[in-house]
Amino acid sequence: MSFDYILETRDICKNFGKLAANDRISLKIKRNTIHSIVGENGAGKSTLMNILTNIHKADSGEILINGKEVKFKSTIDAARQGIGMVYQEFMLMKGFTSFENIIVGFEEKKGIAIDFKESRKKVERICDEYHFPLPLDTLIDDLPVSVLQQIEIVKVLYRGAEIIILDEPTSSLTPQGIRGLFSAIRALRDLGKTVLFITHKLKEVFEISDEISVLRDGKLIGTYQPSDVNPQKLANLMVGREVILKANKAPHEVGETVLKVDNLSVYDKDGIERVKGVSFDIKKGEILGIAGVAGSGQQHLSEALYGLTRPKQGSSIEFNGEEISRGNPLDRHKNRIGYVPQDRIGSGCNVNGTIWENCIMGYHKARGFDPPWLLNYKQAHDFSRKVVEDFDVKIQTIEDRVGSLSGGNIQKLIVGREFSQQNILLIIEDPTRGIDVGAIEYIWEKLLDFAAQGVSVLMISHDLNEVMQLSDRIMVMYDGHLYNAGNYLELTEEQIGLIMMGGSLHE
């Protein structure tokens, strides 16, 4: 009966134009469970979660909490009725403390004034009960990702959430950090909360879930006990075909040095040194993987390599024997260096531009169309349609705004754009962040094919499994320094995870 379930959706439908994002989804979530929701990009997961938090309104259907139908007036109303969401991109304000971020908008009041003392008591009580030892008076600016995540969880608990939605919560964590998060999630469940866990990582689904629901093409395919399915079957259900879950990496020869970096130092806008005198090289046909927790300097490294920031005087970046450290991104593009940034929204695309405009971004200047002084719309549209088709970007037309796409589909668009330009060197940050197993399979195959054809790849990824599956050589970035982590399959996940935390293999 309905009272067995803390949350139900009945025949939820949501259309965006001709696209049925949610098609009669009827989902039942048992109370005090960890319920994973999986599916490809565009399967309808984000739309459904946005309906549950009232970011979107359903076109039809019902939402029931504790057996009673609810109609949310606002996102705050959804939070007050017990639904809280921790987004993949944290919703925290820099320049504010952990405590201030937790209480903002939901402060305890004494009359019309904010009662900071009572608010503090409530936050401290939650931290004690759920074992989150947060630095409440510390600015969030330089806190590690694992602590920021805990702040977000405490924030939704402070707002009274009984149902906590976690969207791709492990995307930037080390193996040790994931273990800590999973312990916290289990503690939440054991203390009476219900957790909806959104992820693309099948290993995690089986480790943490009490039940698993699969969405595909806007429809609910089914809800399963972990004991009733295995990773292969689950992946096949998500994609609708047989999926290869491991990279088919074959040994191959590498050639001469393509990129040589010597004593590279990079400072941020505040004058803080983020990359500290690193040196490395990449050979023709080699995939060099760099692992590390978020904020260790990886983004500053890639931006300097691509010419988005100027390195410190005395730094050297050589590409095919030519010094390029003072060049700009257009120079890199003309030299056939491709770049997939970590910040796909801020740096990778123009969300207000059309899909075809984003597909030819950079290409139109570095490669050009025929004739070179005019924009040939047919060629631009043909190139864009090929990117969309090859990388299975779910769109309605290439005239759609990129901002209308899901995060995973934006990622596939950016990766497809850079992979389709016959580059000699690819600098890629988190190539498969937030995308589904079918797209991961395709991108991994493309990267291995590129390497076999002689393309050099610098892959910076927060997904340690991805680094270990694809890389010929692995390095770890920690506190702005680079450390050797062996060749393909030389070290274990735990050993590399230890280096990512600043530890030594002798510990």
Give the model's pLDDT for residue 279: 96
Q: Provide the mean pLDDT of the chain.
A: 88
Close Cβ partners of 253 (under 8 Å, ≥ 6 residues apart): 285
| Residues 396-416, mean pLDDT to the nearest whole number | 87
Closest CA to 406 of 426, 430, 434, 440: 434
Q: Are 215 and 38 in contact (CB under 8 A)?
A: yes
Q: What are the sequence ranges of the domains in the chain?
A: 2-239, 255-336+424-507, 343-421
Convert 296-357 into a string of H (helix), E (strand) and C (coil): CCHHHHHHHHCCCCCCCCCCEEEECCEECCCCCHHHHHHCCEEEECCCCCCCCCCCCCEHHH
Helix (H) and strand (E) counts for the chain? Answer: 17, 22
Number of residues that make up the chain: 507
Range in 7-11, 91-95, 391-395, 500-504 the model is least confident about: 500-504
Q: Which helix (H) or strand (E) holds 504?
A: none
Beta bridge partners, 35, equal 196, 211
Q: Are 456 and 259 in contact (CB under 8 A)?
A: yes
Residue that has been written with the tokens 């944290």 in this structure: 90
The model's confidence at residue 1, banded by pLDDT at 50, 70 and 90, is very low
Highest mean pLDDT among 169-173, 244-248, 293-297, 485-489: 485-489
Can you read off the two tokens belonging to residue 103?
């209480």
pLDDT tens-place string over residues 425-482: 999 998 887 777 877 888 898 899 899 999 999 999 888 888 999 999 999 999 899 9
pLDDT tens-place string over residues 274-292: 999 999 999 999 999 999 8
d(CA 50, CA 343): 22
For the structural domain made of 2-239, what CATH number should be given? 3.40.50.300
Give the model's pLDDT for residue 505: 57
pLDDT tens-place string over residues 26-44: 999 999 999 999 988 778 8
**Distances, alpha carbon 326 to alpha carbons 305, 314, 329, 340, 429, in Å:** 10, 11, 10, 20, 22
Q: Are 231 and 244 in contact (CB under 8 A)?
A: no
Range in 44-58, 253-267, 333-347 the model is least confident about: 333-347
Whether the predicted pLDDT of 108 surpasses 60: yes
Radius of gyration of the chain (CA): 24
Q: Give the rounded percent of residues in the chain with a pLDDT score beyond 70.
A: 96
Q: Same CATH topology for 2-239 and 255-336+424-507?
A: yes
E-strand ranges in 368-435 read 425-429
Whether the predicted pLDDT of 241 surpasses 70: yes
Query: How many CB atoms neighbour CB 101 within 10 A?
Result: 21
Strands 219-224 and 211-216 come out as: antiparallel
Q: Where are the alpha helices (DSSP H) in 131-201?
A: 145-158, 175-190
Q: Are 458 and 259 in contact (CB under 8 A)?
A: yes
> Letter for the amino acid at 396?
Q
The model's confidence at residue 106, banded by pLDDT at 50, 70 and 90, is confident
Give the model's pLDDT for residue 504: 67
| Residues 346-369, mean pLDDT to the nearest whole number | 83
d(CA 297, CA 313): 18
| Residues 388-410, mean pLDDT to the nearest whole number | 87
| Residues 323-334, mean pLDDT to the nearest whole number | 90
Q: Which residue has the higher pLDDT, 176 or 230?
A: 230
| Alpha carbons within 13 A on the beta-carbon side of 176 | 12
pLDDT tens-place string over residues 4-28: 899 999 999 999 888 889 999 999 9
pLDDT tens-place string over residues 166-202: 988 887 677 777 888 898 899 889 989 999 999 878 8
Q: Give the rounded percent of residues in the chain with a pLDDT score beyond 90.
A: 48
| Residues 78-105, mean pLDDT to the nearest whole number | 89
Third-level CATH fold of 255-336+424-507: Rossmann fold (3.40.50)
d(CA 498, CA 361): 39
Q: Are 398 and 355 in contact (CB under 8 A)?
A: yes
Whether the predicted pLDDT of 100 surpasses 90: yes
Closest CA to 428 of 405, 451, 406: 451
Whether the predicted pLDDT of 147 surpasses 90: no
d(CA 356, CA 348): 14
